[in-house]
Structure 1
Amino acid sequence: MARLLLIMIVSGVLFLSLMLMSLPGATSDSAEGTPSTANGLVFHDKNGNGVADPGEPGLEGIRVSNGTDIVATNADGRYELPVSSDTTLFVIKPRNWRTPLNELNLPQFYYHHKPIGSPKSKYPGVEPTGPLPESVDFAMTPQEEPENFRAILFGDPQPRNQKEVDYIAHDVIEELIGTDAAFGVTLGDIVFNDLGVMPAMNKTVALLGIPWYNVVGNHDINMDAPNRKLANETFEHFYGPSYYSFDYGPVHFIVVDDIEWIVPQGDGRSTYRGGLGPEQLKFIETDLAQIPEDQMVVLMMHIPIIGVHDRHDLYRLIEQRPLCISISGHTHHHEHVWITDVDGWNGPKPHHHIINVTVCGSWWRGTPDERGIPHATMADGAPNGYSILNFDGNDYRLDYYAAGRGSNHQMEIDAPEVITPAQTSESLVYANVFNGDQHTQVKMRVADGDWIEMDRVREVDPKYLRTYESELKVLEKNPGLFTEIPRPKASSHLWKANLPASLPLGTHRIHIQAIDRHGRQFDDSRIIRVEE
């Protein structure tokens, strides 16, 4: 009888353990027989089959991380790291080596260790991985990475559905096919809440034929998650860890997850804010401590760094590095921000943060063009598009590409169509220089007259304002014909000046010239008429 009672108690304990493990978010290393330490090999995959075959040597000094700790492989290419029952191991790609790509050109540099998989959610997560393998190996193949290279940056493609994926295909992807860029990065908001659109988006971007990295955005998370730890399960399913780093050429790139998913107590409504958290900050600190002080570092994130609540902890890690910039998306306008002591920056020089132009512009809103694609002009008057970050050693340069408009389309000029001679000195000319900033010089002249310096102002672009107001009138008469563009907001890249007095009667060319901080010159023109 006592033996039977003991059997019943043991069976009950086992049954209760299994039930607890089946609960959302439940994990148990001991129940799965998972060791507390992962071992593995980083090796030269000579035949490209992803398996460490005889004659394929281990690679020494390659860094591997569990998201907090970072270790370097030994002389035999081996490493070991502590793991929990929800850990992603990943290799930090060094210069002149490449990790495998899957059929969608997504880098395969990670291994998820989730013995029981992701908890149930609206969208798929990571399938159960089972016990930890005896060896978690990472394959690498050599590639040449020069001092000079280019990287494509997509801010917020943010398609809601296949129709908007098709907008991206025709507006941006088609003109980029055949690019010589080394790789591309989507700076978050890969999709717009419907994570089921990710496969279609991935297939479209894959047509570019280059490695494509991804940053998690606030519209890319599992919004039914009970906490931040479980908010990225679908992102992890498709793209791997939500923060990581890699080298290309002489540059070190750090992908940052600054989406802090918050489930408040009380009303039950969940929200997010810009935040990094101690675990990620420890990874960044360890990562930076292991690379040269004079190496160029680029941090890529979704929410602009100035909107992250614990940004000052990040500032302390990067502000003394002589070569460091950061880039984000999220706000649906384009801006160069120079962070100074006003924001608590203690570095010897301002930090350059770029808020990147978005692929979807104003969320694919506005009147459709002849292709049926909304014009999607952003609220600062700049067109939707993408950027390319050019590197030459430690020097960098960002180029703005307006979707479907060609590389020469760098500004919009707003001026009266027709004026009288008496109105000339009272008439304003505006130049919206999309990629301009406080270091850009803009001037104009009419016909062969003298050059006039234009003043940089932070105002609403008047041309965008007229578009906004005229489209509202159309929608009042035709509700649902298209989606209203967002309210205008002040632009950081707008210049204005008065026309010269007493222009003669006739048709005249206004010539605008912009010179950026790199000394590059951009020119554009607009025609006006002076009539009685």
Structure 2
Amino acid sequence: MSRLISLTVVFGVLGLGLFVVSSSRAYQPERIDTPPTAKGVVYHDENENQKFDSGEKTLSGIRVSNGQDIVLTDANGRYEIPIDDDTTIFVIKPRNWRTPVNEHQLPRFYYTHKPGGSPMSKFAGVAPTGPLPKSVDFPLYPQEEPDNFKAVMFGDPQPRNQKEVDYITHDVVEELIGTDASFGVTLGDIVFDDLDVMDGINKSIAMIGIPWYNVVGNHDVNRDAKEHKFSDETFERIYGPSTYSFDYGPVHFIVLDNVEWIVPQAEGRKPTYRGGLGEEQLKFIETDLSQIPEEQMVVLMMHIPIIGVHDRHGLYRLIEKRPLCISISGHTHTHEHVWITDADGWEGPKPHHHIINVTVSGSWWGGAPDERGIPHTTMADGAPNGYSILNFDGNDYRLDYFAAGRGSDYQMEIEAPEVVPHGESNKMFVYANIFNADQYATVTMAIDGGDPVEIARVREVDPNYKKTVEAEAKILEKNKSAWRKLPKPRASTHLWKGAIPDNLSLGVHRVTITAKGRNGQVFEGHRILRVE
């Protein structure tokens, strides 16, 4: 409250007298603006009603974030954290605790404070949330989380409509029902621009029956957004924050939003996107990792491959000294193991393993339909559509590849000539596309059970995929609406090539390809060729 006082100030002596200033004025105490804060408690919700009831145990030392800052709950399970009028507050799930999930198995670990709601958009964002509650509380429930567990990884399901949601349901969801995986993750491009389709795919994936986390992709954004910060309003409404983290077992997972929405200032230019993280997100990652022991495994999950992010070197500086850190993405509709070295500005003591995950939609649901009416949708590197499972055993990990509808033994496709002219076989080759192999794999070829000979990894187009594209193109020339055209072939990172021996006798011969991965995985495939 202001009050009126009289001030007499003596400035000094001028000549023979005093120079005196007297005044009366209204006095206002100095105002110090402090940001508003959210307060609440993290607790063991014993009766599972998602309300903090008298007598329920509070949990101390649990991390809570506003997307940049991270605070710990005190001895009474309470926290306080700064917010503004567009803040999502979330609990960072600790080991051996789970958060609630909704009817679609989507984890509910956050509270969105957006009093004015989202800006108007073609697809609905967050409705006005009204005044901040006096207490924003987070319930947790105890669960066993062993060192050994599995996580399902979906890259780019990307359905345009309910018909393509049905493809996903029959191609991958049905075979995953009953999985022993602990949770699943969609690595962005949950849908293909029509954000209303999110409801349908959420219902489908929920049938798997495990908690399902989501990463925002470039086809999941509000494309009419006028600023980057408003590009994920629909994602926020359905899935929560686009950047967050959680623990499961001994592993720390960080979900990143690396789709930077760009609205050009020049008139007539369309909005676009690029791979980017931004300073605020890098601050969250830095704060988060500063509280994670160096010996703990960290997995970064994103949509655009890390090598396609313009400010990736800022991220490199945060992770390159950690001995246990990998990353995984989608986006390219290929499957690749990338080892990042000093050639890309990496300064760590050993290369960083980045996985570009196989996509559920393969080639955007392209290609001729199979007997179920589902497009074969082979990817441009010759690998089949499907999903992967990350297996963890303490700090060890292994990625397993699952081709949709094919069974776990289908790990390679072998291409060889049907007929080899006698005496001219050394001019012909066997190609082995080993879908999940990387540069550290050893691949051998043996003829009729003879001694295996190591064959070379090549960066070429898969010849089998090339033949498929050419054959389907001829059909589409006559009937353009028969199915969606496949993309042009791309050089594969998991293709091996071996020359057919020139001393093969007349008759049929068995070619055996054996691949040994760096994790000890061994896969074998066979092909019969005929010498005439």
TM-score bin (small chain): over 0.9
Which amino acid counterpart does residue 169 of structure 1 have in structure 2? T
- Give yes or no for contact 1:63–1:92 (8 Å, CA) kept in 2: yes
Contact in 2 for aligned 1:68/1:283 (Cα 8 Å):
yes
Q: Which has the higher strand share?
A: 2
Structure ID, larger Rg: 2
In 1, are the aligned partners of 2:92 and 2:244 still within 8 Å (CA)? Answer: yes
Asked if 1:233 is matched to 2:228, the reply is: no
Over the aligned positions, Cα root-mean-square deviation in angstroms equals 0.9
Residue in structure 2 matched with residue 36 of structure 1 by the alignment: 36
Match of 2:520 in 1: 519
1:263 deviates by 0.2
- Aligned ranges 1:293-308 → 2 under 5 Å: 293-308=294-309
- Give secondary structure in 1 for the equivalent of 2:141: strand
Tell me if the contact between 1:35 and 1:132 (Cα under 8 Å) persists in the aligned partners: no
1:397 lines up with 2:398 in the alignment: yes
TM-score normalised over the length of structure 2? 0.93
Query: Which residue of structure 2 aligns with residue 22 of structure 1?
Result: none
1:64-79 alignment to 2 at 5 Å?
A: 64-79=64-79
Aligned partners of 2:106 and 2:65: how far apart in 1? Answer: 19
Question: Corresponding residue for 2:114?
Answer: 114
Distance 2:35 2:462 in 1: 60
Equivalences for residues 253-264 of structure 1 within 5 A: 253-264=253-264
- 2:442 matched to 1:454? no
Instruction: Work out the number of aligned pairs and report it.
Output: 498
Q: Which runs of 5 or more residues in structure 2 are unaligned? A: 1-33
Letter in 2 for 1:148: N
Within-5 A mapping of 1:156-235: 156-235=156-235
Does structure 1 retain, via aligned residues, the 8 Å contact 2:449–2:512?
Answer: no
The amino acid across from 2:135 in the alignment is: S
Match of 1:246 in 2: 246
The structure in which a higher percent of residues are helix is 1
Q: 1:423 deviation in Å?
A: 2.2
Please state how far the C-alpha of 1:450 moved relative to its aligned partner. 2.3
- Report the 3-state secondary structure (helix = DSSP H, G, I; strand = E; otherwise coil) of the residue aligned with 2:282: helix
Supply the AA of the counterpart residue of 1:328.
S
Q: Aligned AA for 1:59?
A: L
Q: 501-510 or 392-401, which moves further after superposition?
A: 501-510
**Among the aligned pairs, what percent are the same residue?**
70
For residue 435 of structure 1, what is the aligned residue in structure 2? 436
Structure 2 counterpart of 1:188, one-letter code: G
Distance 1:520 1:463 in 2: 24
Residue 409 of structure 1 is matched in structure 2 by 410
- Matched to 2:40, the amino acid is G
Counting only pairs closer than 5 Å after superposition, residues 100-111 of structure 1 correspond to structure 2 as 100-111=100-111
2:492 aligned partner? 491
Query: Deviation of residue 35 (structure 1)?
Result: 7.3
In 1, Cα distance between equivalents of 2:231 and 2:198: 16
How many angstroms apart in 2 are the aligned matches of 1:449 and 1:102? 57
Distance in 2, matches of 1:488 and 1:274, equals 24
Letter aligned with residue 41 of structure 2: L
CA distance in structure 1 between the aligned counterparts of 2:35 and 2:337, rounded to whole angstroms: 48
Instruction: Show the counterpart of 1:129.
Output: 129
Alpha-carbon distance in structure 1 between the residues aligned to 2:435 and 2:127: 44
The one-letter code sitting in structure 2 at the alignment partner of 1:236 is E
User: What residue number does 1:4 align with?
Assistant: none
| SS of structure 2 residue aligned to 1:421 | coil
1:212-243 deviations in Å (ceiling 9; x for gaps): 00000000000000111100000001000000
Looking at structure 2, the residues matched to 139 and 66 of structure 1 have their Cα atoms a distance apart, in angstroms, of 17
Q: Equivalent residue for 1:17?
A: none
Secondary structure in 1 matching 2:436:
coil
Query: Are the equivalent residues in 2 in contact too, given 1:189–1:216 (CA < 8 A)?
Result: yes
Give the letter aligned to residue 369 of structure 2. Answer: P
Check whether the contact 1:390–1:398 (CA below 8 A) recurs between aligned residues.
yes
Structure 1 unaligned spans of 5+: 1-33
Name 1:147's counterpart in structure 2: 147
Write out the 4+ residue segments of structure 1 that deviate beyond 4 Å after TM superposition: none
